[in-house]
Amino acid sequence: MVFRNPTAGVLTFDGVLDELSIFLHADPRAEYRLTIGTDSEQRSDVVEFISAIVIHRKGRGARYFWMQTEKPKYATLRERIWQEAILSTSLARSVLDALAEREVWRSVIEVHVDVGENGPTKVLIREIGGYVRALGFVLCIKPYSYAASAVADRYT
């Protein structure tokens, strides 16, 4: 997995974990929020997925890291949104396990899904929400799903 960060440039997954650890240790008393979300853009023959990891030190800034994945074109919006949720939850599980092993994060991770009460994705909220929660993550949807609808969207 290759990630990018505006400050650190190109990073491996371990490099992202190092950056997250440094950020968390810089102010151990602060309150943090760790979020992961994916957005996609369908091109002529492929779909570009951007997954973002965002660590937010409440009231004191944030850092984010993003990676790109390409997959063959999907027949329906439903399939594409499901793939976004699968990519986000898989990445969230990897991050959670790795940070727990390093003993730097023992809280929940929010998975931000690019669905909302308005528009064609509203019919997917219940089923994707059930999937995300069943995997042990906190679900955030639009307009609160900034990791997917703002950070990842910026790079699609």
Model confidence pLDDT, tens digit, residues 84-125 = 999 999 999 999 999 999 999 989 999 999 999 999 999 999
Dihedral in degrees, nearest 10, Cα atoms 52, 68, 16, 114: 10
**Residues contacting residue 85 through CB under 8 Å, at least 6 positions apart:** 38, 111, 113, 128, 131, 132
Model confidence pLDDT, tens digit, residues 16-68 = 999 999 999 999 999 999 999 999 999 888 999 999 999 999 999 999 999 99
Amino acid in the structure at residue 11? L
46-57/9-12 β-pairing? unpaired
Cβ contact 36:51 at 8 Å: yes
